[in-house]
Amino acid sequence: MKPDQIFSSKEVADMLGVNESSVKRWTDSGKIKCIRTPGGHRKFRLEDVNDFLRVNNLGSVPFSDQLFQRRDDDNLPVAIRYRDYGILIPHFYRLALLADSNEIFNFLTILGMHDYPLADLFDYLLSPVLVRIGTDWEMGKVSVDEEHAATAAIFDSLIRLQFSSTRLPRNPHHALIAVLENDFHEIPAKCMGILLDREGWNIHYLGANSPIFSIENAIRRQPPSVLILGSTIAPDQNSPIPEAVEKIGRSLKNTGGHLIVGGSGLNSFRDTIPSVDWWAGSFRETLQFIRTRFSAN
């Protein structure tokens, strides 16, 4: 779609998801401006359709490459309505780089109010933005301070989100969540905690850089229904961590617990950790895995 393209009544009706007669009515009452051809047909410019939407608080027309390139925040309401991640992702990226946790929180809340499943937001919005921040940092387009500020603001907004959201009634299940030692990448682990918290799980969150012994202690104190380990930074080839994780996984089986590992850090050790029940690739699928294993009561 080009910004200067001309549309027929039928095309505009399709664009807005209404009958052609509504478009004709709105045109006749002057709500949408149109161009009359010599034959009397109504033709519409994208700008005029957008004006109509904006005046009526309906956002503006989505899915045009040009508009996306133009960094058109006015398109946001329609992009939200149509789940147009092509527009939502760059918008979220900009909010992240502004490092404004209020704005990030507000944006996530608005999407929540539009019934976006939180797991989808983590998979399709948050993850790509974080990965892109990492790539831009690697390429020198984003400085270390910008990267730190952006990810810290995201983290803050997640904490706010956790406490502002409605939760299902508590269930008897207990999740222990930790990020392995020497690893400070805890955003995905926090996301998983928030998702399960909302589902009524009892969460015991150890956070980043958790030594193996601390995880073992926590398990001893209260054997979890599920242990979720995050690992982004790969341990050295001769590190004792993979073997320790395998041992923990095997001991969990004795108490009926499950072991989930997320992140790419332990990827090259997969064969040596057969006790992992689920390698978490996405939040949506991980949540699904957990839901099918555990009923709500």
Q: Compute the least distance from the CB of residue 131 to ligand B12, in Å.
A: 4
Is the Cβ of residue 44 or residue 205 nearer to ligand B12 in the bound state?
Answer: 205
Closest approach, Cβ 287 to ligand B12, in A, equals: 9
Cβ proximity to ligand B12: between 9 and 151 the closer is 151
CB neighbourhood size of 260 (10 A)? 22
For residue 75, the surrounding DSSP H or E stretch is none
Between 62 and 262, whose beta carbon lies closer to ligand B12? 262
Residues that bind ligand B12 (CB under 6 A): 123, 127, 130-131, 133-135, 138, 148, 151, 155, 182-189, 192, 228, 230, 232-233, 262-264, 280-283, 286
Residue 12 or 133: the one with the smaller Cβ distance to ligand B12 is 133
Smallest distance, ligand B12 to C-beta of residue 263, A? 3
In this structure, is the dihedral angle defined by the CA atoms of residues 20, 24, 25 and 29, taken in order, positive or negative?
positive
Query: Between the CA of residue 126 and those of 132, 191, 203, 283, what are the distances in Å?
Result: 10, 10, 22, 11
Minimum CB distance to ligand B12 smaller for 100 or for 123:
123
Rounded to a whole number of angstroms, the minimum distance from the CB of residue 212 to ligand B12 is 16
CB of 234 to ligand B12, least distance (A): 6
Q: 3-state SS of 111-173?
A: HHHCCCCHHHHHHHHHHHHHHHHHHHHHCCCCCHHHHHHHHHHHHHHHHHHHHHCCCCCCCCC
Angle at 179 between CA 294 and CA 186, to 5 degrees: 100
Of 228, 224, 175, the closest CA to residue 198 belongs to 175
